[in-house]
Amino acid sequence: MHLRLLSVFASRSLSIADSELVLKPPANSDFNKWRKVREDSREFLVKWEPKWPHDDLTRIGFRRRLKSYSQQWQRGSGRTYFLCRASDHAILGGISLSKITHGNTKSATLGYWMGAEHAGKGYMQTAANCILEHAFGELGLNRIEAASLPSNPRSIHLLQKLGFHEEGLAREYLEINGVAKDHVLFAILKSEHHRKMAAD
């Protein structure tokens, strides 16, 4: 797998790509494409995500998201990207690093979602490897955590393919569609990621 950082602009603007995919920070101009993939994938996504606000797919709801993303970037606590196809810039999904912590911890939490039409095609594995390279390289982190519902084998399989190790079960860890659900916790260390990438 050949991964590269495509370009680094200002401190709040980072694009990461391989030969087919681009990870880009969300922008106002993405609204229509974002709404379409989320609307088309609603039934697929709601069983894995926190409850959608009533106005989630409106322009107001999207601007609220952008404001939150921007604030996280400014504080250095989070980075969110849309996963896009390089050929036509269609939005396929999204990926984020949240709870970014430096100092003694040097960790973050990985989150992701994929449009139903594009799931299971290996796109998210490529995107997540790019994010891990960035997190362990430019951001100087040492540990990336992730969580999955026990009933989501596709997500668990993805984390295992990325080299994450299961660390235990967190009871009622996160609300999914309004109900607190147990999650399986995973993590990968910088040294583990580098060994895996060297072996691939």
Segments making up each domain of the chain, as ranges: 4-199
| pLDDT greater than 50 at residue 8 | no
Question: Average of pLDDT values for 55-84?
Answer: 94
For 34, phi then psi, to 5°, come to -65, -45
What is the bridge-based pairing of β-strands 143-148 and 107-114? parallel
| pLDDT greater than 90 at residue 21 | no
- Residue 195's pLDDT is what? 95
Backbone region of residue 185 per phi and psi (left: phi > 0; alpha: psi in -120 to 50; beta: other values): beta
> Which architecture, in CATH terms, is 4-199?
3-Layer(aba) Sandwich (3.40)
10 confidence band (pLDDT: 50, 70, 90): very low
Distance CA 188, CA 191 (A): 8
| pLDDT greater than 80 at residue 80 | yes
